[in-house]
């Protein structure tokens, strides 16, 4: 697969932050429970997302070669005032300026520590793009607002998620991922609305050695079909498989088995 350009990731982070700010200032109830992250309120979700961006800003600015403790990052938890959308919005705006500026200045190849063994700032630009893309969906769903994402970003988010599942299996850090080591099971993802130039089909094979995946149209044990944004959100467990526009063909239990054992995001 081809990664997006570094500047594309930086642009998307800036856009996603603006769109998350729009949710915060929309009049949405900040105390509302996030249905896709039921342990969090909407405000807690926003503070978590902004805090992750602040942490990455600190890592990239310092050219860190080891993990920076989160408690050492200024304002990582957000503004002191709670329940104040204006304060939360201002904090997010500053967060965006900081992290996007740091990533643009570093470029994609600056050496920076990461937890996934990809030791450069390009890893963080991509990771934060998809971190905020998915959490903005959480926020939009909580507020009852519409949600869309650019096709190239959605397709790359699915690529990255599959790579993270691979990494988790290889690292042995999550027992759930070990349960995916089975044979004769495969999943096909098929976006039905991808524009020309976006190859938005995937085949994922579950093997005893770990998952193997590639983009392409191939027969599988089970297929998930629908609009690209909906396929992305369902595969991230943000939409139920019964959602309008989605279709599951074949052995549904294989897809459910995958979703049950990829809850380590």
CATH 3.30.1050.10 domain extents, the chain: 151-260
Element (H, E) at 20: helix 6-24
SS3 content of the chain, % helix, strand, coil (to 5): 50, 15, 35
CATH 1.20.120.450 domain extents, the chain: 6-143
Q: What is the pLDDT of residues 160-196, one digit of tens each?
A: 999 999 999 988 777 878 889 999 999 999 999 999 9
Beta strand 33-34 pairing with 185-191: unpaired
Q: What is the pLDDT of residues 93-115, one digit of tens each?
A: 999 999 999 999 999 999 999 99
pLDDT at 1: 46
The pTM assigned to this predicted structure is 0.95
6-143 to CATH, choices 1.20.120.450, 3.50.30.10, 3.40.50.720, 3.50.30.60: 1.20.120.450
Position 264 confidence tier, pLDDT thresholds 50, 70, 90: low
| Sheet with 201-207, edge to edge strand ranges | 210-215, 201-207, 185-191, 222-226, 247-250
Altogether, the residues listed in the chain come to a count of: 265
Question: Does CATH number 3.30.1050.10 belong to domain 151-260?
Answer: yes
| Residue 204 to residue 185: CA distance in whole angstroms | 9
């Amino acid at each position: 697969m081809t990664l997006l350009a570094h500047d594309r990731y930086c642009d998307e982070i800036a856009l996603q932050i603006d769109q998350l700010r729009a949710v915060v200032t929309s009049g949405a109830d900040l105390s509302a429970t996030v249905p896709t992250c039921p342990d969090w309120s909407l405000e807690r979700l926003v503070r978590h997302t902004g805090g992750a961006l602040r942490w990455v800003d600190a890592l990239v600015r310092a050219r860190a070669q080891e993990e920076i403790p989160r408690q050492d990052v200024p304002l990582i938890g957000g503004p002191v005032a709670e329940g104040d959308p204006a304060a939360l919005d201002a904090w997010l705006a500053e967060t965006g300026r900081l992290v996007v500026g740091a990533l643009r200045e570093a470029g994609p190849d600056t050496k920076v520590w990461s937890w996934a063994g990809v030791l450069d700032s390009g890893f963080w630009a991509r990771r934060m793009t998809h971190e905020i893309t998915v959490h903005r969906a959480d926020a939009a769903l909580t507020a009852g607002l519409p949600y869309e994402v650019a096709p190239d970003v959605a397709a790359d988010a699915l690529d990255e998620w599959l790579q993270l599942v691979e990494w988790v299996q290889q690292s042995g850090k999550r027992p759930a991922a070990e349960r995916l080591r089975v044979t004769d099971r495969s999943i096909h993802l098929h976006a039905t609305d991808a524009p020309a130039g976006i190859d938005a089909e995937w085949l994922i094979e579950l093997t005893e050695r770990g998952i193997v995946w590639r983009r392409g149209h191939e027969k599988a044990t089970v297929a998930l079909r629908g609009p690209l944004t909906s396929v992305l959100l369902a595969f991230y467990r943000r939409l139920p498989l019964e959602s309008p526009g989605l279709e599951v063909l074949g052995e549904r239990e294989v897809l459910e088995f995958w979703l049950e054992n990829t809850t380590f995001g």
